[in-house]
């Protein structure tokens, strides 16, 4: 299907982008989020998605902290946003197929995240948050909290159904 083709293309693009980012990172790069078993939800497809999300957030962190300028930040943000959209769509499909009872609340979390992300990115782009700290703090905090608490509940539901 067309969605499957788009998913494959997006996955290849994100993987390629992350390989390029890793190749240009210096020894001084510290990740915003480090993947660990503590944030694993115990569901392989979700964990793989989450690892890629962490990688895209870390790529954005690297771009903001580099001397590469605004084009690098814009590209990193767009890659992170595209993968986030893909992941949320995939996760919401899993919820619908498994008749997840907390689906509407979970989807609301996703919508709120996208809205807040847009505001913070606009603030960064317009110079209100020149360091990108507000954007990065939000991303780091929201993603780890959402995975650890909200997505873990979904994973438990998927395992039992």
How high is the pLDDT of residue 148?
Answer: 94
How high is the pLDDT of residue 15?
Answer: 57
Query: 54: pLDDT confidence band, cut at 50, 70 and 90?
Result: very high
> pTM above 0.85?
no
- Residue 28's closest CA among 72, 70, 75, 65? 65
pLDDT tens digits for range 81-130: 999 999 999 999 999 999 999 999 999 999 999 999 999 899 888 888 77
How high is the pLDDT of residue 3?
Answer: 57
Query: 27: pLDDT confidence band, cut at 50, 70 and 90?
Result: very low
Residues 138 and 120: their CA atoms lie apart, in Å, by 8
């Amino acid at each position: 299907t067309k969605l499957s083709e788009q998913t494959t293309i997006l996955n290849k693009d994100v993987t390629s982008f992350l390989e390029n980012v890793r190749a240009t990172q210096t020894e001084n790069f510290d990740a915003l989020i480090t993947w660990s078993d503590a944030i694993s939800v115990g569901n392989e497809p979700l964990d793989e998605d989450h690892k890629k999300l962490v990688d895209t957030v870390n790529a954005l962190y690297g771009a903001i902290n580099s001397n590469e300028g605004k084009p690098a930040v814009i590209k990193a943000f767009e890659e992170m946003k595209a993968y986030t959209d893909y992941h949320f769509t995939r996760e919401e499909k899993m919820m619908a197929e498994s008749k997840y009872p907390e689906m509407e609340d979970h989807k609301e979390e996703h919508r709120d995240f996208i809205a807040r992300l847009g505001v913070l990115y606009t603030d960064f782009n317009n110079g209100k948050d020149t360091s990108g700290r507000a954007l990065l703090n939000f991303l780091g905090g929201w993603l780890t909290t959402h995975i650890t608490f909200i997505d873990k509940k979904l994973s438990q539901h998927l395992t039992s159904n």
